[in-house]
Amino acid sequence: MDKFKITFLPDNKTVEVEKGITLLSAAISAGIHINSSCGGDGVCGRCKVILKKGQAVSLPTGRISAEERKKGYHLSCLSVAQSDLEVEVPAESRLDSGTLAKDDAHMLRLKGIFSEPEDTDKGDSILGENIFIHSPLASKLYLDLPKPNLEDKISDLERLYRQIRSLQDLPVLQTGLSNIRRLGELLRSSDWKITATLGKRNGTTEIVILEPGDTSKRNFGFAFDIGTTTICGQLIDLNTKKILGTKAAYNKQASYGSDVITRIIFAQGTDGLEKLHHAVIDEMNLMIQELTRENNIDLNDVTCCLCAGNTTMMHLLLRVDPTYIRREPYVPTANFIPVVRAYEAGIKINPRGLLACVPGISSYVGGDITAGVLACGMDKTEKLSLLIDIGTNGEIVLGSKDWLIACAASAGPAFEGSGVTCGMRASRGAIQKVKINPETFEVTYSTILDTPASGVCGSGYIDAIAELLRAGIIDRGGKFDPKLIHRRIREGEYGREFVLAFKEGLGTTVDLIVNEMDIENIKRAKGAIYAASAMLVNHMGFGFNDLEQVYIGGGFGTYVDMPNAIFIGLLPDLPREKFVFVGNSSLVGARQILLSHEAIMDADEIAKKITYFELSVEPGYMDEYMASLFFPHTDLSKFPSVTGKKSSP
């Protein structure tokens, strides 16, 4: 069989592949993750690469313009090599991975709900301690055991149990053979001074790790939010509860499909589940390695991981077949997943360290929502509250301490900066705030960390569309006014577009624009979320005005401009003070559960308490959704403050 060498630039990574293998597959083999929302079906047009040397042949596609074709652009999923190749992967086709700067980490903090203690001098933050008793998933206990003598001859293991029980009330205590095998030598070589890591496992306590000497000061864990589009990982000092670092990266599973349904279908193919599993695990392991290296922490001192994510993400993380999630009656294999050893799922921390997953509610409302409810404290308040978690799936929870109900709406990844032309995750250089002068159409914007703009994040798009509406550049349907002529308005490949930032001085290869396709995407996303919220509130016999508190979660920029979010019809038209932006509430909840056994039990209660409301079979949902496909809505009476303000900037 013929084989070709394909070198990917700018990484300069070369792989040898058999004839007939697509360039997308070759890139994956080379460890380069290319965006591929449609899962390699040639539909989404996100996986463009530029052929620099050699011959390749492609299936026909409408996703490459004539101009692009001249420059050597190919859709990598439709192209196969005819010779050795050199291929460039442009930045816009790339699924990047990156660290949030220290300051960026603050975006992930839950604002406005808890009184946060002042940051320490290291700039780290402490969260959650006001709510739950500090008792992490894995805790270290230093033990100075009395040495055996002829009067005290109980065995080493019983001695260890006795000492632990003299310090903690633990009726069911377990340990494994590998610890027992090391125990005799360990105790004697360490002069009976050892550190036991105690893990909470499904109603029992396990002696997870035994180490010589006192290592109790070095106990670290990871909280993860595994989103369909974005993975966030956070390194926590389990003793001090400090956040030592946070990273976010696109979920590399996007190479195999942009939403959970595409990925479940992909999982059913040959090695599909394995590939999806590795895509997430590899990214998590990379974050773990980088964050521990940056903080000079030994991987063996990382004793546990706590993951929140939607139900499909949890299945893929654990390499559990997600097939039945999308087959009627839509039943996942497990919502409550027992605590397992992290290595069983391929996560590389201490080989005996633990992995716990936040319990989920149903196939389409997962543990990320349980964690979000926990973080917001919705289950503890008398107030009628709504949580809107804006991710690739939008999940909505309504209720109070007495009852909770949730539904899910497929919003797409637009608010996470995916599936939109210049979208990017809310990280360094993302345009997060936009103002457009309604007279001159000139733009002022700010970026995260005030570095040169390299893309637009969710909050930037919300602002941009609100401002385009206010300036009359687009109409309530999202179409550009065809009469306007301005250097920032032009015809692009996907309809008219508005230039937010010209490439000069930015270091990007393209102008940062918003086009009609992007606006359409955002409109559908906000419409799905608004319609779902409305349906859920109405289903329970309430109106939006009955809500006492509305929590907005999601990985936007530093904050979402609530008036603008209302202006475009993403959020209901309620007084500003009812809204609380909670950021990545799933990650906050995961961290709380990592840090407190009380929170673990609380999460179990929440997951059991939440009723799932199936939106797709609900009569009227489609009408509500269609009515929401306007800015802000076809029924303007629902947005009195917007209507009143429409013409003012």
Candidate list 174, 440, 616, 634; residue touching a copy of itself; CB under 8 A = 174
DSSP lists the bridge partners of residue 474 as: 480
CB of 183 to a copy of itself, least distance (A): 5
For residue 475, state whether it binds a copy of itself (rule: CB under 8 A): no
Nearer to a copy of itself, 342 or 593 (CB): 342
For residue 111, state whether it binds a copy of itself (rule: CB under 8 A): no
CB of 610 to a copy of itself, least distance (A): 13
For residue 148, state whether it binds a copy of itself (rule: CB under 8 A): yes
For residue 345, state whether it binds a copy of itself (rule: CB under 8 A): yes
CB of 181 to a copy of itself, least distance (A): 5
DSSP string, 330-364: T--S-SSPPPEEGGGGT--SSTT-EEEE----SSS
Nearer to a copy of itself, 55 or 178 (CB): 178
Candidate list 59, 91, 154, 167; residue touching a copy of itself; CB under 8 A = 154
**What is the Cα–Cα distance from 41 to 45, expressed in whole angstroms?**
9
**What is the Cα–Cα distance from 514 to 489, expressed in whole angstroms?**
10
For residue 333, state whether it binds a copy of itself (rule: CB under 8 A): yes
Q: Could you identify the residue written with the tokens 């697509």?
A: 22
For residue 331, state whether it binds a copy of itself (rule: CB under 8 A): yes
Nearer to a copy of itself, 345 or 388 (CB): 345
Nearer to a copy of itself, 340 or 636 (CB): 340
For residue 189, state whether it binds a copy of itself (rule: CB under 8 A): no
386, 435, 560, 587 from 580: Cα distances, Å: 10, 22, 10, 16
For residue 617, state whether it binds a copy of itself (rule: CB under 8 A): yes
Nearer to a copy of itself, 34 or 264 (CB): 264
3-class DSSP state of 378: helix
For residue 212, state whether it binds a copy of itself (rule: CB under 8 A): no
Nearer to a copy of itself, 114 or 324 (CB): 324
How many H helices and E strands in the chain? 15, 30
Nearer to a copy of itself, 332 or 527 (CB): 332
**What is the Cα–Cα distance from 403 to 382, expressed in whole angstroms?**
10
Q: Are 477 and 484 in contact (CB under 8 A)?
A: no
Q: How far is CA 428 from the centre of its chain?
A: 17
Return the structure tokens found at 83: 């010779």
Nearer to a copy of itself, 120 or 174 (CB): 174
CB of 215 to a copy of itself, least distance (A): 21
For residue 153, state whether it binds a copy of itself (rule: CB under 8 A): yes
CB of 78 to a copy of itself, least distance (A): 33
**What is the Cα–Cα distance from 208 to 178, expressed in whole angstroms?**
10
Nearer to a copy of itself, 62 or 171 (CB): 171
Please report, as residue ranges, which positions from 263 to 322 form the binding site for a copy of itself (by CB under 8 A). Answer: 318-321
CB of 229 to a copy of itself, least distance (A): 24
Candidate list 99, 163, 255, 363; residue touching a copy of itself; CB under 8 A = 363
CB of 172 to a copy of itself, least distance (A): 4
For residue 442, state whether it binds a copy of itself (rule: CB under 8 A): no
Candidate list 330, 502, 544, 559; residue touching a copy of itself; CB under 8 A = 330
Candidate list 62, 118, 166, 171; residue touching a copy of itself; CB under 8 A = 171
**What is the Cα–Cα distance from 230 to 390, expressed in whole angstroms?**
12
Interior angle at CA 255, CA 320 and CA 232, nearest 5: 70
**Neighbouring residues of 453: CB distance < 8 A, sequence distance ≥ 6:** 429, 430, 431, 445, 447, 500, 501, 506, 508, 512
For residue 646, state whether it binds a copy of itself (rule: CB under 8 A): no
For residue 11, state whether it binds a copy of itself (rule: CB under 8 A): no
For residue 601, state whether it binds a copy of itself (rule: CB under 8 A): no
Q: Name the packing angle between helices 367-376 and 597-609 (round to 10°).
A: 110
Candidate list 172, 270, 487, 648; residue touching a copy of itself; CB under 8 A = 172
Nearer to a copy of itself, 59 or 154 (CB): 154
Burial 302-334 (b: 16+ CB within 10 A, else e): bbbbbbbbbbbbbbbbbbbebeebbeeeeebbe
Q: How many residues bind a copy of itself (CB under 8 A)?
A: 52
For residue 328, state whether it binds a copy of itself (rule: CB under 8 A): yes
Candidate list 326, 614, 618, 641; residue touching a copy of itself; CB under 8 A = 614
**Neighbouring residues of 491: CB distance < 8 A, sequence distance ≥ 6:** 497
Candidate list 10, 117, 176, 507; residue touching a copy of itself; CB under 8 A = 176
Candidate list 229, 234, 258, 362; residue touching a copy of itself; CB under 8 A = 362
Q: Please, what is the end-to-end C-alpha distance for the chain in angstroms?
A: 65
445, 476, 515 from 518: Cα distances, Å: 18, 14, 5
Q: What is the largest CA-CA distance in the chain?
A: 98
**What is the Cα–Cα distance from 417 to 613, expressed in whole angstroms?**
28
**What is the Cα–Cα distance from 511 to 348, expressed in whole angstroms?**
41
Candidate list 116, 156, 282, 604; residue touching a copy of itself; CB under 8 A = 156
DSSP letter at 133?
-
Interface segment toward a copy of itself; rule CB under 8 A; list 239-247, 335-343, 551-559, 577-585:
335-343
Candidate list 612, 627, 641, 646; residue touching a copy of itself; CB under 8 A = 612
Nearer to a copy of itself, 86 or 156 (CB): 156
Candidate list 163, 175, 262, 447; residue touching a copy of itself; CB under 8 A = 175
- In three-state form (DSSP H/G/I as H, E/B as E, the rest C), the secondary structure along 2-47 is CEEEEEEECCCEEEEEECCCEHHHHHHHCCCCECCCCCCCCCCCCC
Nearer to a copy of itself, 137 or 501 (CB): 137
Candidate list 334, 384, 449, 517; residue touching a copy of itself; CB under 8 A = 334
Provide the residue type at 49 as one letter. V
Name the burial class of residue 150, with classes exposed (0-12), middle (13-18) and buried (19+) by CB atoms within 10 angstroms of its CB: exposed
DSSP letter at 633?
-
For residue 586, state whether it binds a copy of itself (rule: CB under 8 A): no
223, 388, 457, 463 from 469: Cα distances, Å: 39, 24, 18, 10
Provide the binding-site residues for a copy of itself, judged by CB under 8 A.
148-150, 152-159, 171-172, 174-177, 180-181, 183-185, 188, 201-204, 318-321, 323-324, 328-338, 340, 344-345, 362-363, 612, 614, 617
